[in-house]
Chains A and B, each alone.
Chain A
Amino acid sequence: MRKVAIAGVGHTPFTFAAEKSSVELFNEAAMDAIIESGISAKDIQALYVGNVLGDFSEAQIMIQSYIADDLGATNIPATRYEGACASASLAIRDAFMWVASGFYDIVLVGGVETSAKMGTPLATRTFAMAHDSHYEYPAGLTFPGLFAMLAHLYTAKYDVPLEKLKEQMAMVTVQSHKYGVHNKYAQFQKEITVEDVLKSFMVCSPLQLYDCCPFSDGAAAMVLASEDVAKKLTKKPVYIAGVGQSSSGKLSAQKDYAPRIRAREVSVKQAYDMAGIGPDDVDLCELHDCFSIASIIAVESLGFAEFGKGGEMWETGQADRGGKVAINMSGGLKSKGHPIGATGASQAVDIVHQMRGEAEPGRQVEDVKIGLTDTLGGDGVLCNMVLKRGW
Chain B
Amino acid sequence: MEYKLTFKEYNKSLKKGKLLGLKCNDCGNYTCPPKMACQECGSTNMDVEQLKGSGKVVTFTVSFVPAEGRDAEVPYTVVMVELDEGPWLLGNLTDIDPNKVTVDLIGKPVQLGSKMKALPGDVYMMGDKEAEGAFARPTFVFA
B58 — which chain A residues lie within 8 A by C-beta? 153, 156, 255
> Are A124 and B103 in contact (CB-based, < 8 A)?
no
A149 to B119, CA, bound (A): 21
User: Contacts A136-B90, A153-B59, A162-B103 known; A141 to B78 CB distance under 8 Å?
Assistant: yes
Do residues A156 and B106 form an inter-chain contact, with CB atoms below 8 A? yes
Some 28 contacts from A to B, beta carbons below 8 A apart, are: A120-B65, A121-B69, A124-B66, A124-B68, A125-B122, A133-B125, A134-B33, A135-B90, A137-B119, A138-B119, A139-B91, A139-B92, A139-B137, A140-B70, A140-B92, A141-B90, A142-B67, A144-B63, A145-B63, A149-B60, A149-B80, A156-B58, A203-B65, A204-B63, A251-B90, A252-B87, A252-B90, A255-B87
Per the 8 Å Cβ criterion, residues 125-142 of B in contact with A are 125, 131, 135-138
Shortest CB distance B2–A (Å): 17
Q: How far is the CA of A201 from the CA of B138 in the complex (A)?
A: 28
A152 within 8 A of B: yes
Chain B residues whose CB sits within 8 angstroms of the CB of A139 once the complex forms: 78, 90-92, 137-138
Q: Is the CB of A124 within 8 A of B119?
A: no
The answer to whether the Cβ of B96 comes within 8 Å of any Cβ in the partner chain is: no
Q: Is the CB of A255 within 8 A of B103?
A: no
Q: Is B60 within 8 A of A152, CB to CB?
A: yes
- Contact present for B137 and A125 (CB under 8 Å): no
> Which 6 pairs, one residue from A and one from B, show the smallest C-beta to C-beta distance?
A148-B61, A121-B68, A125-B68, A252-B88, A138-B135, A153-B59
What's the Cα separation between A125 and B101 when bound, in Å? 24
Q: Report whether B33 and A128 are in contact in the complex, using a CB–CB cutoff of 8 Å.
A: no
What are the interface flags for B1-37 relative to A under an 8 Å C-beta threshold, 1 for contact and 0 otherwise?
Answer: 0000001000100000000000000000000010100
Q: In the assembled complex, which residues on chain A have CB atoms less than 8 Å from the CB atom of B138?
A: 139
B40 to chain A, nearest CB (A): 9
User: Is A150 part of the contact surface with B, judged by Cβ < 8 Å?
Assistant: yes
A203–B78 contact, CB under 8 A?
no
Whether A205 is near chain B, meaning CB under 8 Å from some CB there, is yes
* A-binding residues in B (CB < 8 A): 7, 11, 33, 35, 39, 58-71, 73, 76, 78, 80, 82, 87-92, 101, 103, 106-107, 118-119, 122, 124-125, 131, 135-138
By DSSP majority rule, is chain B's interface helix, strand, loop, or mixed? mixed
Assess whether A253 is interfacial by the CB under 8 Å rule. yes
Q: How far is the CA of A145 from the CA of B74 in the complex (A)?
A: 12
Contact A128 B61, beta carbon cutoff 8 Å: no
Question: A389 vs B138: C-alpha distance in the bound complex, in angstroms?
Answer: 51
Given contacts A124-B66, A252-B33, whether A150 and B59 have CB atoms under 8 Å apart is yes
Determine the chain A residues whose CB is within 8 A of the CB of B118 once the complex forms: 138
Nearest A residue (CB) for B11: A134
Q: Is A202 positioned at the interface, with any CB of B under 8 Å from its CB? A: yes
Docked pose: A253 CA to B82 CA in angstroms: 11
Q: Is A155 interfacial (CB-CB < 8 Å)?
A: yes
Q: Is A62 an interface residue (CB 8 A)?
A: no
Q: Any chain B CB within 8 A of the CB of A229?
A: no
> Which of chain B's residues have a CB closer than 8 A to the CB of A201?
64
Given A139-B138, A152-B103; A204-B68 close (CB under 8 Å)? no
Which residues on the B side are within 8 Å of A144 (C-beta)? 61, 63, 65
Contact residues in B for A140 (Cβ distance below 8 Å): 63, 67, 70, 73, 76, 78, 92, 137
The answer to whether B90 and A124 have CB atoms under 8 Å apart is no
Q: Are A138 and B137 touching (Cβ within 8 A)? A: yes
With the chains together, A129 CA to B78 CA distance in Å?
A: 17
Other contacts beyond A204-B64, A251-B88: 10, CB < 8 A? A121-B68, A139-B78, A140-B76, A141-B90, A152-B61, A153-B58, A201-B64, A203-B63, A203-B65, A206-B103
Is the pair A134, B65 in contact by a Cβ cutoff of 8 Å? no
A274 contacts partner chain B, Cβ-Cβ < 8 Å = no
Judge if A122 is at the interface, Cβ distance under 8 Å: yes
Q: Is the CB of B136 within 8 A of A125?
A: no
Q: Mark A154-184, 1 if CB is under 8 A from B, else 0.
A: 0110000010000000000000000000000
Measured between C-beta atoms, what is the minimum distance from A145 to chain B in Å?
5
